[in-house]
Amino acid sequence: MSKSLDSWVEQAHQWVFNNYTYEGHRSFYIPAGNTPLPLYRYWEESRPQLLSQCQLIQIDEVLEGKKSNMFFHFFEENLPSWTSKLISPHENYHQGDAALLGLGLNGHLGFHEPELPEEVFFACVPLSPLTCKNLKLSASAWG
C-alpha cells in the first residue's frame, strides 16, 4: 500500500517496468479517469523509453452521442506523447499482456457492467444507469 501519491506513482511505474523487463510484456491495458492521472503526468514528464516499445490498450469508450470518443479525448489531453501507441476499442480487438487497473465507481473494471457475466471480456454494451449518471451520458448510452 502506498503512503503517498509519489510513492504510488513510483510503484505503478515500477510495476510496468518490471512486467516489461522481466516478463516480456509489450502491451498494457490502461484506464481513463482520475486515479491514473498522476502516473500519466509522470510518463509525460519523464518520457520512459520502454513506453516507445509498448502498445497501450484503451479499455473503454463511449460509442455514441455528444460524448462519443470521450475516453480517447481523455488520453489525447492527458497522455499526448503516447497516443500513437494507443489501441482504441474501435480497432480490432487486441489482447494485452498485462492490465493497469483501478476499480470503477460502481465496482466494475472498465465497462464490465455489473449485470454482465464474468466470462464477457470484450463487448459493446448498454451502460448501466449509474455509469450514465456518473459520466453525464444519456440514459441509453452504449460503451
Exposed e or buried b for every residue in 102-127, given b needs 16+ CB within 10 A?
Answer: eebeeeeebbbbeeeeeeeeeeeeeb
Domain range for 88: 5-104
Q: pTM of whole model > 0.85?
A: no
Residue 65 sits in a domain whose CATH number is 3.40.50.1360
Number of domains present in the structure of the chain: 1
Which of 84, 82, 87 minimizes the C-alpha distance to 47? 82
Determine the pLDDT at residue 62. Answer: 85
pLDDT tops 90 at residue 125: no
Note whether residue 70 is domain-resident. Answer: yes
Any domain includes 121: no
